[in-house]
Structure 1
Amino acid sequence: MSAIAPEKTTKSIDWSKWIRFALLVMAGGTIYKLSNLKDAFYVPMQEAMGLSHTEIGTLLSVNSIVATALFVVGGYLADRFSTRVLIPLGLVGCGALGLFLSTFPGFNTLLVVFALLAVCSDCLVWPALLKSIRQLGGSKEQGRLFGLLEGGRGVVDTAVAFSALGIFVWLGSGVGGFRAAIAFYAVLDIAVGVLLFLLLRNQTSENPTPRKHKAGLAEIWRAAKLPQLWWVSFMVYVVYCGLTYFIPYLTYVYGLPVALVGAYGIINQYGLKILGGPIGGVLVDKVFKGASRYIRLGFLCLIPVVAVLLLLPADPGSQIPAMIVTLLFSLIIFTMRGVFWAPMDEVGIPEETSGTAFGIACLVGYAPGMFAFIVYGSILDANPGAAGYHIVFIVLAALALVGALVSSGLVRVAQARRAAVEVPSNSWT
């Protein structure tokens, strides 16, 4: 009888772990829908709100500037307060802002709304969510957990975005449909926030977060002393920002209709997370035995894909090849995005200050959002037609090369730490 009890306990702990994981995936899959309307509704944003490429880029940049300024604050809050409070509060706040956004306020008001969306999502929710994911598994599970987070978010993202696109098309693919799609995102955020507040309560009370250390200036400085870790995430994200422009590229250069491009945008930005996140996680844990080495290879693989994209004729006859090549590029990015937080364990960041560390990682890693969309959008406005998009794609290839070089530095840091850990073990034996 005594031998059976531990098995039951283990099963109970596993169920609790995966229930918490599923709830966190729900939060991660809904929190950014409103600030990333451009993923499925880039062209409707231009038409219904009267926005240029540069103005959309400005909204995204303002959102990212505020997020970047508050990431460390969010990490500090994640080390101090319960996820049961932070995550639902951020979701409900985003939902309230979304209901206002559906009234189509003027551009200056939109700047304020996108700034406040960053406060709710990037300060209150994201660092707390990343810390919660890291605490769910040991060092050998980090790649899989973060990969499954990205894949799970892809499932939620895809289902939610296709539902919003269905509403948009059902109501005529016009201004009314776009307004209803925004309201749908907003109501869903509020509903998920309330659900998480109710269901996370028992989980957090049964498995409280250790409080051996509270984040202070010493912990912030300790977490900041590994620039390779932060710059790898920076390079992944600056290239990821370029995926946004595959949507207008296929619309204006290859002539895809708005509804079809909307479906492509959902697959490109969300659906590929379903494949990319888990694939990246398995490759990191089972094949490469480290996230940094895989990320280096991923950057190198992007360069020939861009070369093929540039060689394709810019005419409607190449619609399908263009869609396939851009989706391949996006898939590689999502395998990298799914694991670009996993090196946190490789370089020895302590778990009790991981909220602060994730805040710093987000501060640097998501910083490209402050300028990349404005830069890419300005290039497109200054170079109409296929030429502007080709310039953007060349920039992405150059950034991928830089990313591979930065990743090599992180590989060396991880190898040095691994050797330092193994030496005492070998000398003991």
Structure 2
Amino acid sequence: MTTVTQTPAKSTKPVDWSKWVRFALLVMAGGTIYKLANLKDAFYVPMQEALGLNHTEIGTLLSVNSIVATALFVVGGFLADRFSTRILIPLGLMGAGALGLYLSTFPGFSTLLVLFALLAACSDCLVWPALLKSIRQLGGPKEQGRLFGLLEGGRGIVDTAVAFSALGIFVLLGSGTGGFRAAISFYAIIDIAVGLLLFLLLRTRTAEQDLADGQPAPAKQKTGLGEIWHAAKLPQLWWVSFTVFMVYVVYCGLTYFIPYLTYVYGLPVALVGAYGIINQYGLKILGGPIGGVLSDKVFKSASRYIRLAFLCLIPVVAVLLLLPADPGSQVPAMIVTLLFSLIVFTMRGVFWAPMDEVGIPEQISGTAFGIACLVGYAPGMFAFIGYGAILDANPGAGGYHIVFIVLAALALVGAAVSSGLARIAKARRAATAA
């Protein structure tokens, strides 16, 4: 007699397409909101020429932008816990677009300072904390690395497409002042268009949808400053914040690969612009998802991966310092700097994932992200001025080499800080398993 064994059918959970539509809309917002404040990524040299700025003045604009952002991150987190992302994110995008249209008139330096401050209010107060909270709510604990990695990768795709389009306009119009003006206007119009699109299409997830998917409805938020104090008292939040700080202070150094290749290796402006787009945006496409997969699948911990990535930066800097500073080493210099940037972007892709790993309560996650942004992005207040001052005081390849040595030292400090974060995460996993 033959016994037939039936294999139980595998239960497959249907794909939540609404989740991924929301994710795609958020990626569009994240990939466009910082274009105007970061013109230097693809147009560093045109900024110097059209606006009459030196390294230190560009650094000052970026620092003012970061100072205002830092002051408003907690406010942004506070707003994200109370108001709909459908209102906050489009408002920030359209506000940035309006500022960009005025920026295209090439105002004086004092007005530029005000514009860069207002761009920070639009992006880092209205958009970014709300966007981070929305991304965290899209998935459970085992998806955080991948979701944040895909966010960074998706932003890279949007960043690259938009930036190459702007660069194409710049080149098409002669790579001069007129082309630069048109590129700025293009960025501004894109911000306004994306903001309008999100207002029309983005929908806030309801408590009923959460319950239908088996997720608990979020607790009703209290009004006042109590939750800010609650979040600020969490020691694990500060470990996350300082790890982000160390990644970001190294990330700020990527900006100077662009003038380094221009002035030391003699690359033409259009080619360096393309390199800058790849270096600052294109590598997000690879770096974010790679960091997410390595964190979730290989290391089972974003904090452990970040520690290793910091250590990997040090030998890359050593190779960069050993390269001859002459046009014959153009290609090796581009490859080594791109490798350094790729490693940094794998860290940027997952440096928010430890928020879940160390147990930050979701009901205060908007406020927690605001506090962590305040600390984590603080290097923008001083790093660009510091790096720019080094370059202005030490003309030629020597100044850039000093900056690269500083980056290696910071990577070593970052490895130590992320080791502390990894210990906190390990202790929480052990306590949860017990």
The alignment's TM-score, normalised by the length of structure 2, stands at 0.94
Percent identity of equivalent pairs: 85
Alignment of 1:336-351 (within 5 A): 336-351=347-362
Secondary structure of the residue that 1:11 maps to in structure 2?
A: coil
Alignment of 1:258-407 (within 5 A): 258-407=269-418
Determine which structure has the larger helix proportion and give its number. Answer: 1
Q: 2:44 matched to 1:42? A: yes
User: In 1, are the aligned partners of 2:85 and 2:204 still within 8 Å (CA)?
Assistant: no
1:144 paired residue among 146, 163, 173: 146
Report the alpha carbon displacement of residue 214 of structure 1 after superposing the two structures with TM.
Answer: 3.2
CA offset digits 1:81-139 (Å, max 9, x no partner): 00000000000000000000000000000000000000000000000000000000000
CA distance 1:327–1:313, change in 2 (3 Å)? same
- 1: CA distance, partners of 2:206 / 2:37: 28
CA offset digits 1:31-84 (Å, max 9, x no partner): 000000000000000000000000000000000000000000000000000000
Report the alpha carbon displacement of residue 420 of structure 1 after superposing the two structures with TM.
Answer: 1.1
- 2: CA distance, partners of 1:377 / 1:123: 26
- 1: CA distance, partners of 2:281 / 2:226: 38
Secondary structure of the residue that 1:394 maps to in structure 2?
A: helix
In structure 1, the residue matched to 2:59 is 57
User: In 2, are the aligned partners of 1:16 and 1:203 still within 8 Å (CA)?
Assistant: no
CA offset digits 1:331-369 (Å, max 9, x no partner): 000000000000001110011110000001100000000
- 1: CA distance, partners of 2:272 / 2:206: 41
In structure 1, the residue matched to 2:4 is none
In structure 2, the residue matched to 1:426 is none
Give me the CA root mean square deviation: 1.6
Report the alpha carbon displacement of residue 213 of structure 1 after superposing the two structures with TM.
Answer: 2.9
CA offset digits 1:377-421 (Å, max 9, x no partner): 000000000000000000000000000000110011111111111
Secondary structure of the residue that 1:415 maps to in structure 2?
A: helix
In structure 1, the residue matched to 2:227 is 219
Report the alpha carbon displacement of residue 229 of structure 1 after superposing the two structures with TM.
Answer: 1.1
User: In 2, are the aligned partners of 1:211 and 1:352 still within 8 Å (CA)?
Assistant: yes
> Amino acid of the residue matched to residue 71 of structure 1?
F
User: In 2, are the aligned partners of 1:79 and 1:214 still within 8 Å (CA)?
Assistant: no
- 2: CA distance, partners of 1:397 / 1:98: 35
Report the alpha carbon displacement of residue 286 of structure 1 after superposing the two structures with TM.
Answer: 0.2
In structure 2, the residue matched to 1:182 is 184
CA offset digits 1:243-278 (Å, max 9, x no partner): 000000000000000000000000000000000000
- 1: CA distance, partners of 2:190 / 2:150: 22
- 2: CA distance, partners of 1:205 / 1:320: 54
In structure 2, the residue matched to 1:245 is 256
CA offset digits 1:255-304 (Å, max 9, x no partner): 00000000000000000000000000000000000110000000000000
> Amino acid of the residue matched to residue 388 of structure 2?
G
Q: 2:100 matched to 1:98? A: yes
User: In 2, are the aligned partners of 1:268 and 1:327 still within 8 Å (CA)?
Assistant: yes
User: In 1, are the aligned partners of 2:86 and 2:204 still within 8 Å (CA)?
Assistant: no
CA distance 1:46–1:204, change in 2 (3 Å)? farther
Alignment of 1:61-140 (within 5 A): 61-140=63-142
CA distance 1:169–1:205, change in 2 (3 Å)? farther
- 2: CA distance, partners of 1:219 / 1:392: 40
CA offset digits 1:304-332 (Å, max 9, x no partner): 00000000000000000000000000000
User: In 2, are the aligned partners of 1:214 and 1:353 still within 8 Å (CA)?
Assistant: no
Report the alpha carbon displacement of residue 222 of structure 1 after superposing the two structures with TM.
Answer: 3.1
User: In 2, are the aligned partners of 1:66 and 1:118 still within 8 Å (CA)?
Assistant: yes
Aligned residue pairs: how many?
A: 417
CA distance 1:249–1:316, change in 2 (3 Å)? same
CA distance 1:384–1:130, change in 2 (3 Å)? same
- 1: CA distance, partners of 2:174 / 2:307: 45
Q: Which range moved further: 172-181 or 345-354? A: 345-354
Secondary structure of the residue that 1:358 maps to in structure 2?
A: helix
Structure 1 gaps of 5+ residues are 424-429
- 1: CA distance, partners of 2:189 / 2:289: 29
Structure 2 gaps of 5+ residues are 1-8, 211-216
